[in-house]
Amino acid sequence: MNVDGMIMAPLQVHNPTEYSQEDPGIMVNALPIFHVSSIRKICKLGSGSHSDVHLVSTQSRQQLALKCLNQTTVLNQELSADLTSDLIMEAQILASLDHENIIKIRVVCCDPIETGTAGSGYFFLMDVLSDSLVERVQRWSKDESCYNGIRSSILGNRLRKLNTKKMISRMETVAIGVAKGMAYLHKKGVVLQDLKPANIGFDMHTGEARIFDFGMARHALDLSMNKPAEICGTLRYMAPEVMKGETPTKASDVYSFGCVLYTLCSLMVPFHNFAAKESELGEFKVKVIAGERPSLKCISCLLVRSLIQDCWAHDPLDRPTFNEIVEERFPDIRKGFHSNDKQKKSFKRIDSGSLNDSIHVSFRSDSGFTISTKSWV
């Protein structure tokens, strides 16, 4: 990809053992570099605790996402130095990855993004995504609530089967891609540490799910040699052993994936009654560490329930690997659902498009009625 102003040094794939957290600068020279004058800010896409993501345009009008430390962090010299190292490490890890379900880094820059900014101006550019899984879950939930409210008195059990079909479709379009990306990541020896819907987006052109925030990602070898000084991640999606202060592992990512899968299937965040207030954090951790998990009663497919339960098993050794999930568990779920669907023949035809498209549902002729909804939102 040619972007104006870049020095197009080739991306190099490095062995993770070649560098550690103590020396994050080793791989900087392996990344493409360009100058800040080559881009123009358009708008802010999002913010984290210490960083911002902006939509920017190059001189050739190509749009990319720029990640940099926020102004408050940059002005704190000590904090800025530490977090710049983290940002460099994130860029290094991304530069070593090449998978359709993982965001692609394009270039890095060491110039201040704003003229006159104090401290480090290190930032990098990556692909722009269309939206996040959080936004899609909200839309799906709204759509399903409307549909259930309108049709529940008429459809009964058939509605539940239709919802199961939609759930399987969400798994096929989102969960499988995320699992493939995570399997690749683990093969490269990287632990993500913060897998959640807010860190999953969708490619602008292909629609493929992509994991995009690697701010907490570390190589497993580095984690085993250098235990994190503090607990990192998002509590709702955090494995119990990490809550206890143990070193995050690949199995910890699998636990988080189980929580993401729960959200995809139920269209609710895990532990939705947990308000995330400071006063409740201790009690919440105690419950999760003791083995409490969200109820799976709303998920009718037993194979899906079983997978989620295995992913968030209390003992990390009891959790499946992402390779097992991709190669064995998902194919079994797909096969089981479609086989059961054909045997029961509960539906003669289901033809549903996107959220705002026309929806037509026709049941077997011996059921005595047919519903055709041509326009609704």
Model pLDDT for residues 255-301, shown as the tens digit of each residue: 999 999 999 999 999 998 887 677 788 899 999 999 999 999 989 89
Residue 253 and residue 139 share a domain: yes
More confident residue, 9 or 274: 274
Residue 277 and residue 257 share a domain: yes
Closest C-alpha to 270, from 230, 239, 301: 239
Is the Cβ–Cβ distance between 308 and 258 less than 8 Å?
yes
Residue 160 and residue 44 share a domain: no
Count of the separate structural domains present in the chain: 3
Does residue 29 have a pLDDT over 70?
no
Establish whether 161 is an annotated binding residue. no
| Per-residue pLDDT tens digits for 234-259 | 899 999 999 999 999 999 999 999 99
Residue 1 lies in a domain: no
Of 100, 127, 154, the residue that ends a domain is 127
DSSP designation for 279: G
Residue 161 lies in a domain: yes
Spatial neighbors of 231 by CB under 8 A, at least 6 apart, are 238, 242, 243, 245
Token pair for residue 45?
A: 């896409």
Residue 190 and residue 69 share a domain: no
Closest C-alpha to 207, from 166, 184, 174: 174
Of 77, 104, 127, the residue that ends a domain is 127
Residue 340 and residue 357 share a domain: no
Residue 329 and residue 350 share a domain: no
Residue 289 and residue 159 share a domain: yes
How far is 112 from 127, CA to CA, in rounded Å? Answer: 21
Of 127, 148, 169, the residue that ends a domain is 127
Residue 267 and residue 195 share a domain: yes
Predicted confidence at residue 8, as pLDDT, reads 27
Residue 315 and residue 360 share a domain: no
Residue 170 lies in a domain: yes
Residue 216 and residue 172 share a domain: yes
Domain of 156, CATH number, reads: 1.10.510.10
Domain range holding 69?
A: 6-127
Residue 333 and residue 276 share a domain: yes
How far is 1 from 202, CA to CA, in rounded Å? Answer: 20
